[in-house]
Chains A and B, each alone.
Chain A
Amino acid sequence: MESIEPLGFESKIYELESKIKELEKLSDGDTLDLSEEIRKLESKLEELRAQTYQNISAWEITQIARHPQRPYTLDYIKAIFDDFVEMHGGRQFEDDHAIVGGMARLNGEPVVVIGHEKGRGTEEKIFRNFGMPHPEGYRKALRLMQFANKFYRPLVLFIDTPGAYPGKGAEERGQGEAIARNIFEMSFLKCPIIAIVIGEGGSGGAVALGVGDRVLMLENSIYSVISPEGCASILWKDVSKSDLAAKALKLTSKDLLDLKVVDQVIGEPIGGAHRDPEATFESVKSAIEKNLKEVMKVDPEERVAERFAKYSRMGVFVEEA
């Protein structure tokens, strides 16, 4: 794999890592033994990592969630499922490349997979519209969800979007309605639904793929009503206050677990999923297997009722007697 781009707050860690690597190279022969030196640096590295990642801020997590080398939906599909057959036809305006989906097999069992796809590299990012769908993308997703429901196949959804695209065509074709319709339909789908936030859960654009029997979240992903930048520019009138907004919004996986909006947090390798994608794929796969197994035990009618009850409980208010 190509070298990893460090984020601003990680630069010291990466410096130390490359220094250790250099020393290891030098130390290869018998003539020069630097093992003592390396051990020292490694323990320093350990300390530094602990310092950096144990006290990581919401804003730093946001940057990891958006890391350009973070695994995307198609990476997960390729690594976790077999025989993926992509279905492009939303039967609408046009194919929306910001959402991918189709039939696949999980350990041999047929499922339907759908997710936002951000695209890797400039050219593909543009092709994927940076993972920001238009209404026809959500309508394609809905068609695939109904397809899954019709043929009794479980649904696995990957969430990774900055948000629904705020553009002219999107408004003209009913962006709001497309998102609303997905929520409406998903709440009564009889097939099991597992949704996983793998990177950015950007507001309504994420919810449109996010009504599930189980909603899981990768440790360094975020899920929020608005981006920290959007929130900072509206409430602080200053986009440079995004770090404060990120903290205030409570958008990390830990926050969401505490708020009972997600059911499980999937741990990531230290530093983030991009530091060890293979290990991340393994963890995500076993989380899907475990949750799917549990929800598939439940009778479909009961499953729908439980899903409805779960979302009915969401929200915090005071009720006067």
Chain B
Amino acid sequence: MGWFTTKIKGLPEVATKCPACEEVVFNKDLVKNLYVCSHCGKHLRMPTAMRVEALCDENSFEEFGSGILPSDPLSFSDSRPYAERVEKAQEKTQSEEAILTGVGSIQGNKVVLGFFDFAFMGGSMGSVVGEKIARAARKSQELHLPLIIFSASGGARMHEGILSLMQMVKTGQAIAQLSKSHIPFVSVLCDPTTGGVTASFAMLGDIIIAEPKALIGFAGPRVIEQTIHETLPEGFQTSEFLLEKGVIDMIVPRQDMRETLAKILSFFKGKDGSYHGIH
């Protein structure tokens, strides 16, 4: 990981202040620690490329679904045109869209993977994200491999209006199709996962995992506070809160993610090592 030691994209020079405990952490330590603050354990938002590297066996990840690019079906413009926002986001993240999909191995277990990039317009789900998730589900079915999606998203992308809303159906039905074929879907919720992503595929995992202290909910905390006219208690809508309420299955720290996923994946395998033995 030599190229990370000096200037890291999206991080200030040399050191970073933890947004939770405000302690200063050296970038090289932060990277080594998978973007987890060594002082308070806060799981910072992690660049997609690093997540792939931390999770997949070396050189095992192969992207599919590249070249599916956002258009501007509504000719949407607020203070700036949507098309311009997309360009900016692409420049900033060096990604085509808010999700990366591919096939990779986790400790020898081949899987289909999706990774949201929150840095790309808040990880919002528009037509491209919906399509890539639907194709990832299809790929899972074709290859008879489990699907794992790491979500980090503010929800549906407003700039594509109703078409974004319809991606909830598109992704939800894609998971339903997978489910009919007895192919496991593991949903990993990272900070933050809200809105139309929470209200579609992300809550449809056969197993739902969350990273520690992630903000996970349908409505954002500000909207709730404005609606009920009271301040929400500390820790409301965190992973820990949702575990307590029975909404998610487990909380897995980033350092243990790879091993835990490998363990989970092996559960679904038949004696011949394939996922065909499930039924």
Contacts and interface: CB of A to CB of B under 8 A. Distances in A.
A6 interface: no
Nearest to B174: A312
Contact of A225 (B165, B204, B219, B227): B165
- Size class of A's contact patch? 35 or more
Could you tell me the dominant secondary structure of chain B's interface residues? Answer: helix
A250 interface: yes
B127 A179 contact: no
A315 B69 contact: no
Nearest to B82: A248
B134 to A, nearest CB: 6
Contacts of B77: 248
Nearest to B162: A261
Nearest to A320: B67
B163 A315 contact: yes
B101 interface: no
Interface string A168-182: 101111111101110
B183 interface: no
A314 B71 CA distance: 13
Contacts, number: 199
A317 B69 contact: yes
Residue among B67, B196, B199, B202 having the largest count of chain A Cβ atoms under 10 Å: B199
A32 interface: no
A1 interface: no
A225 B218 contact: no
A176 B170 contact: no
Contact of A181 (B70, B131, B204, B224): B204
Contacts of B201: 180
B172 A184 contact: yes
B81 to A, nearest CB: 11
Nearest to B130: A315
B213 to A, nearest CB: 16
B149 to A, nearest CB: 13
Interface stretch (A47-55, A61-69, A150-158, A230-238): A230-238
B236 A248 contact: no
- Size class of B's contact patch? 35 or more
B93 interface: no
B204 A188 contact: no
A203 interface: yes
Interface string A196-208: 0000000110011
A311 interface: yes
Given A176-B203, A176-B217, A223-B162, A312 B168 contact: no
A256 interface: yes
B247 A177 contact: yes
Nearest to B197: A176
Contact of B170 (A225, A245, A314, A318): A314
A176 B224 contact: no
A184 B164 CA distance: 17
A140 B166 CA distance: 22
A204 B176 contact: no
Given A171-B237, A236-B78, A249-B74, A224 B162 contact: yes
B75 to A, nearest CB: 9
B199 A204 contact: yes
A112 interface: no
Nearest to B167: A315
B218 A183 contact: no
A205 B126 CA distance: 18
Contacts of B160: 225, 316
Contacts of B224: 166-168, 171
B223 interface: yes
B212 interface: no
B166 A314 contact: yes
Contacts of B179: 184
Given A183-B173, A224-B161, A261-B163, A318 B202 contact: no
B73 A248 contact: no
B190 interface: no
Nearest to A166: B219
A312 B199 contact: no
B245 interface: yes
A171 B158 contact: no
B196 A236 contact: no
Interface in A283-321: 308, 311-312, 314-321
Nearest to A241: B78
A204 B196 contact: yes
A103 interface: no
A180 B161 contact: no
A-B residue pairs, 9 tightest by C-beta: A166-B219, A315-B127, A176-B198, A183-B172, A187-B173, A320-B67, A316-B73, A175-B218, A179-B199
Given A176-B202, A315-B126, A320-B67, 17 more contacts: A167-B228, A179-B168, A179-B199, A179-B200, A180-B168, A183-B173, A185-B176, A187-B176, A207-B166, A211-B173, A224-B165, A225-B156, A225-B157, A226-B158, A230-B223, A235-B158, A255-B162
17 contacts: A170-B219, A171-B224, A176-B198, A179-B199, A180-B204, A187-B172, A208-B199, A224-B162, A225-B158, A230-B223, A231-B158, A235-B158, A249-B158, A249-B162, A314-B127, A315-B127, A315-B128
